[in-house]
Amino acid sequence: MFRYIVRRLLQMVLTFFGATFLVYALIFANQNDPIQALAGERPITESQRLALTQRYHLDEGFFMQYWYYIKGLLTGDFGTSLTGRKIGDMMVDAWPVTARLALIAIVIAAVFSVTFGVYSAIRRGGLFDNLSLVVTLVLLAMPIVVIAPLFQLIFGIQLGWFPPTATRDATFWQLLLPAIVLACIVIAPEMRVTRTSVVENLRADYVRTARAKGLTRMRVIWVHVLRNSLIPVITLIGVDLGSLLAGAIVTEHVFNIPGVGFNLARAINTEDGPLVVGFVSILVILFLFINLLVDLLYAALDPRIRYE
Amino acid sequence: MSDLNTVTAAEAPGGQPNVPHGPVKKDKPRSLAADAWSELRRRKIFWIAIVLVAFILVMSFWPSLFTSADPRACSLSNQYKGPSGSALFGYDFQGCDVYAKVVNGAFNSIRVGVFSTLVAGIIGLIFGMASGYFGGWVDAVLSRFIDIMLGVPFLLAGIVLSRRLSSDPASDGVFAVTLTLGLLSWTSGARVMRSAVISAKQQDYVAAARMLGAKPSRLILQHILPNSIASYIVLLTLLLGINIASEATLSFLGVGLKGDAISWGIMIAEGTQFARTQPWPLVWPAIFLGVTVLAFIMLGDAVRDAFDPKLR
Amino acid sequence: MTDIKAQMDVLPGVDPRAPLLEVKDLHVEFRTNYGVAKAVNGANFLLSPGETLAILGESGCGKSVTAQAIMGILDTPPGYVTKGQINYRGVDLLKLSEEKRRKVRANRIAMIFQDALSALNPVYTVGFQLGELFRKHRGMSRAEAKRRSIDLLDQVKIPGAKTRVDDYPHQFSGGMRQRVMIAMALALDPEVLIADEPTTALDVTVQAQIMGLLADLQRQRNMGLILITHDMGVVADVADRISVMYAGKVVEEAPVYDIYARPAHPYTKALLESIPRLDMKGQQLSVIRGLPPALTDVPRGCAFNPRCAYARDACRQDPAPPPYQVSVQPHRTARCHFFREVIGE
């Protein structure tokens, strides 16, 4: 377990530097006028120009610039947006909303994909299984830019079942429909992996043993098979987090939820370069960190890794 | 099993009886491709996908077959007019013919999708084959690089890179988005190619060709590539669908196609803002985008299932 | 011994005087996309308390499937019992509801599997998997179940049972894992134990230890043991009676001594002759011609006839003309028209 964690941490450090360098290079490398690039098409004043030059150390070499950038990230100094607000403060305001949204979405997705995935697997080839194969295929293919506006239109505006937009405090009720939208992106892959994994595990020898022990079918499936089947599903949740993050940008934009994605989308629209850089960097770090957590959870679920 | 072994040889695990593999009726031995094709032919989903893909391709290359209206001839006097004989899907808030715009939007989707997938396919092919064939430090470096790429969520990298590439305000963003998607979406292809090459390398006939002094380039072209290419093409079909969706997402967020370029993503973004007044300008591009992506994913999925006998 | 009264509550109709386990004309088939495989075509045998019955045969002869059918753990679909009876103390298990059948498992009839590593659940501790039996069948608390699990591990002679109870299956050696399997099977004091190739996956020295342990435990508890194997060496040491299976049928059943001394079926005889022997060193090893039949395509008449040196027209008739299954002697049957010739030579 210890060696596994250490190795995983070392990997994360490497990925952290690599990923932030990549992001930074994409933004600043080989720019004729990096300041104008940060500000986009909007005009900037001389004082802003000076502030940006200082902030990003644009008068120094590229690697020094990257060093200052990393130092900022590690000390929690994410800079200031073009509107003058501290990016760190904006993040503090925004992240609880996004975290709640993502959490509701993950719970919905996990409950649905695991129950339906297991049910599909034990009734393999049945009507439900075939139907769910078609439904997951459609869900798998639907881009978030299709699902989010259409769900808002149908369930929020036309049918009026859910509030179509959120207010500043973003209540649970307001977040439910966007959370369902977000869940839609991850339900399909998670359900398919659950199904495949359960089907494989149902054939395993230990299932035969569990049945020979006179355990009920429910116990064999939900205790013995499920724990083994969840291992690949958990890894997938880590991978899916990336699409969940991307989904949150679109979903929060559509439903007007004042979270991280909403701020990022607005920063793109208002051409607020520093804000985009800051938020993207924070999200990349967050993504890496959660992936680390998922890997540790994976180890907790599978003793064969724990004792490696 | 030889007769000598009948008594003492270790029994196969599982204790299942000897069920012969393959159909009972005696066919000639068939190749995997022929097998997959006969499997594919019987699947409805494959034919649905083929018809949809054909339809979309025709629409993107010959939009005039579907509409003679000019998607850019907009008049505010038509704002939010409902569907009619002349404009099947009605008009949007700028008074543009939604049907004409949707039909003409197919071209940009397909163009960005196909070219970005080609770029990604070529990068993935080269990196994956190099990684798998040479192994050693080449493999280590490339694999770490892929890890780092995967450390940045796709859309975030897309936003940053697309902004960076389309700094010219006059451009329509097609080139920038194509390059962005191509540069960011090759990783899964490289991984698939890498493992395909590694497993092909371990095949006896490749080892034999090597011992007979075949040059690496010849080995790759004549022995390894043909065996790995089928699964790679399937992957690219799926990627094509995903890239079309990504283009729409970037355009939706305002970092994709720009200016007067017609994109389903931009149409959805505009439609969403005014959905309360008139839903159709949102609904139609959303449906067309959804069906297009679905068609490519269905096609890739069906072909993959047919080529992967384990899943049958 | 087990409490007959408690047993009656679970299984109405249990007759303590009836045979412990009696399998009559059992038929099992697998319905696959590629056709119907007749895995068991009429298996018959009888097991008494304290007796060891060995079921012997090649891979795919239906011996493991028979065991799974007795346990009621066939994978259905594709496996189905199509005919026959499995009587436990006079109760036909095949006629029981699934709920009653479930309670028979582990409580009355338990099973040990071939490969203990894959037969144990990799993500739970050995203690959890043992304790589960006590908790779910006997309603014990976790603490009580753990204490009993440690006792059991002691009984199967696992050193340091107290600490090892919290280990995972992959942390045990092959022999120790098989001991855990045995402990698990014996937890609820079953009367019948089915061991499906219990030593095949083990080293030869460990094999002997495991077989010795099984024999000891069987003697202490007066269990009926069904030992499924293809290893004639193992059989000779521990079995009382032997059933030889071929293509889903029991072709010969006899006390162990008789089988080795005077086999009555050509297949048994051929099996014995194909064992390498030191005193025959330098001579050509005798082999059985041909291959065992595919179960989707069993030969007409006696399934062994295409490979049999004694085969004549009668052997190819379907159904086989009487006398096909014959009592060779008391307690001894063979499915061969020409058993006298086979014995007599």
pLDDT band (50, 70, 90) for residue B309: low
Residue C342 has pLDDT above 50, yes or no: yes
Contact indicator for C252, C268 with CB cutoff of 8 Å: yes
pLDDT band (50, 70, 90) for residue B116: very high
CATH topology of domain C19-239: Rossmann fold (3.40.50)
Of B145, B255, B282, Cβ closest to residue A153: B282
Which pLDDT does position A41 carry in this prediction? 60
Q: Convert the pLDDT of each residue in A232-287 to its tens digit.
A: 888 787 777 777 887 888 898 888 888 888 888 888 777 777 787 788 888 888 88
**Element of type H or E holding C42:** strand C35-47
Average pLDDT, rounded, for chain B: 77
Name the strands in the sheet holding C21-32, side by side, starting at the edge strand that comes first in the sequence: C35-47, C21-32, C79-88, C91-92
CB contact residues (below 8 A), chain A span 237-266, against chain B: 241-243, 245-246, 249-250, 253-254, 264-265
pLDDT band (50, 70, 90) for residue B117: very high
User: What number is the average pLDDT over the span A187-195?
Assistant: 88
Using the Cβ of A54 and the Cβ atoms of chain C, whether some distance falls under 8 Å is answered with no
Distance of CA A276 to the CA centre of its chain: 17
The label of the residue with tokens 């699964």 reads B231
For residue B107, how many other CB atoms are within 10 A of its CB? 15
Q: What span, in angstroms and rounded, lies between the C-alpha atoms of B181 and B188?
A: 13
> Which residues in A lie closer than 8 A to residue C107 (C-beta atoms)?
214
CB contact (8 A) between residue B289 and residue A138: no
Residue C268 has pLDDT above 90, yes or no: no
Contact indicator for C108, A213 with CB cutoff of 8 Å: no
User: What number is the average pLDDT over the span B188-210?
Assistant: 79
CB contact (8 A) between residue B253 and residue A249: yes
Of A143, A249, A276, Cβ closest to residue B293: A143
Of A209, A216, A304, Cβ closest to residue C119: A209
Task: List beta partners, residue C253.
Answer: C243, C333
The least confident of A4-13, B133-142, B256-265, C295-304 is C295-304
User: What number is the average pLDDT over the span B190-217?
Assistant: 77
DSSP 8-state code for residue C43: E
Which pLDDT does position A58 carry in this prediction? 67
User: What number is the average pLDDT over the span B283-301?
Assistant: 88
pLDDT band (50, 70, 90) for residue B122: very high
pLDDT band (50, 70, 90) for residue A36: low
CB contact (8 A) between residue C232 and residue B6: no
Which pLDDT does position B119 carry in this prediction? 94
What are the residue ranges of helices labelled H in C41-192?
63-71, 98-104, 116-119, 126-138, 142-155, 161-164, 174-186
pLDDT band (50, 70, 90) for residue A290: confident
CB contact (8 A) between residue A146 and residue B289: yes
Which pLDDT does position A1 carry in this prediction? 67
Residues 6+ apart with CB under 8 A from A78: A72, A86, A87, A88, A91, A278, A281, A282
User: Of the candidates B273, B284, B278, which has an alpha carbon nearest to the alpha carbon of residue B82?
Assistant: B278
Spell out the domain ranges in chain B.
37-311
Contact indicator for C301, C261 with CB cutoff of 8 Å: no
Higher-confidence position of B310 and C74: C74
> Which residues in C lie closer than 8 A to residue B26 (C-beta atoms)?
none
For residue A71, how many other CB atoms are within 10 A of its CB? 10
> Which residues in A lie closer than 8 A to residue C71 (C-beta atoms)?
211-212
CATH topology of domain B37-311: MetI-like fold (1.10.3720)
ipTM for this prediction:
0.82
For residue B154, how many other CB atoms are within 10 A of its CB? 20
Which pLDDT does position C313 carry in this prediction? 76
Buried-state track A25-53, b at ≥16 Cβ within 10 A, e below 16: ebbbeeeeebbbbbbbeeeeeeebbebbe
Q: What span, in angstroms and rounded, lies between the C-alpha atoms of A260 and A94?
A: 5
User: Per the CATH hierarchy, to which homologous superfamily does domain A1-308 belong?
Assistant: MetI-like (1.10.3720.10)
Helix axes A172-202, A87-122, angle to 10 degrees: 40
Identify the closest residue of chain C to A303 by CA–CA distance. C123
The pairing of beta strand C241-246 with beta strand C325-329: unpaired
**Tokens matching residue B216:** 């690496």
Q: Convert the pLDDT of each residue in C26-52 to its tens digit.
A: 888 888 777 777 888 878 888 888 888
Higher-confidence position of A10 and A31: A10
CB contact (8 A) between residue C124 and residue A216: no
Q: How far is the CA of B264 from the CAs of A246, B85, B272, C253, in angstroms?
A: 18, 22, 12, 77
**Tokens matching residue C23:** 């399998």
Residue B151 has pLDDT above 80, yes or no: no
**Tokens matching residue B214:** 């075949």
CB contact (8 A) between residue B4 and residue C285: yes
Of C64, C201, C274, Cβ closest to residue B7: C274
Using the Cβ of A205 and the Cβ atoms of chain B, whether some distance falls under 8 Å is answered with yes
Which pLDDT does position C8 carry in this prediction? 46
**Tokens matching residue A281:** 């960097």
Which pLDDT does position A306 carry in this prediction? 62
For residue C279, how many other CB atoms are within 10 A of its CB? 5
Residues 6+ apart with CB under 8 A from C210: C175, C178, C179, C182, C198, C199, C202
Residue A135 has pLDDT above 60, yes or no: yes
Using the Cβ of C292 and the Cβ atoms of chain B, whether some distance falls under 8 Å is answered with yes
Residue C295 has pLDDT above 90, yes or no: no
Residue A189 has pLDDT above 80, yes or no: yes
Which pLDDT does position B23 carry in this prediction? 42
Q: Convert the pLDDT of each residue in C120-154 to its tens digit.
A: 888 888 889 988 888 888 888 888 889 989 988 88
Residue B5 has pLDDT above 80, yes or no: no
Identify the closest residue of chain C to A307 by CA–CA distance. C171
> Which residues in B lie closer than 8 A to residue A277 (C-beta atoms)?
160
Q: Quote the minimal CA–CA distance from A206 to chain C in Å.
A: 4
pLDDT band (50, 70, 90) for residue B121: very high
Buried-state track B275-312, b at ≥16 Cβ within 10 A, e below 16: beebbbbbbbbbebbbbbbbbbbbbbbbbbbbbeeeee
Contact indicator for B251, B263 with CB cutoff of 8 Å: yes
Which pLDDT does position B156 carry in this prediction? 81
Residue B89: how many CA atoms within 13 Å on its side-chain side?
A: 24
> Which residues in C lie closer than 8 A to residue B6 (C-beta atoms)?
58, 271, 274, 288, 292
Higher-confidence position of B24 and B174: B174
Which pLDDT does position B123 carry in this prediction? 94
List the single best residue of B19, B21, B24, B27 to mutate versus C (max C Cβ within 10 A): B19
Q: What percentage of chain B reaches a pLDDT higher than 90?
A: 8
Residue B264 has pLDDT above 50, yes or no: yes
> 0.90 exceeded by the pTM?
no
Residue C126: how many CA atoms within 13 Å on its side-chain side?
A: 34
Higher-confidence position of A92 and B72: A92
Q: Convert the pLDDT of each residue in C179-208 to its tens digit.
A: 898 888 888 888 889 988 888 777 878 888
Q: What span, in angstroms and rounded, lies between the C-alpha atoms of A177 and A162?
A: 6
Which pLDDT does position B114 carry in this prediction? 92
Which pLDDT does position B167 carry in this prediction? 67
pLDDT band (50, 70, 90) for residue B182: very high
Distance of CA B144 to the CA centre of its chain: 24
φ, ψ of residue C52 in degrees (nearest 5): -115, 120
**Tokens matching residue A157:** 């505006």
User: Of the candidates C150, C132, C205, C146, which has an alpha carbon nearest to the alpha carbon of residue C173?
Assistant: C205
pLDDT band (50, 70, 90) for residue C328: low
* Best-predicted range by mean pLDDT (A1-15, B76-90, B132-146, B222-236): B132-146
Length of chain B: 312
Q: What span, in angstroms and rounded, lies between the C-alpha atoms of B229 and B223?
A: 11
The pairing of beta strand C192-196 with beta strand C224-229: parallel
DSSP 8-state code for residue C122: T
* Best-predicted range by mean pLDDT (A217-226, B297-306, C114-123): A217-226
> Which residues in B lie closer than 8 A to residue C64 (C-beta atoms)?
15-16
pLDDT band (50, 70, 90) for residue C285: low
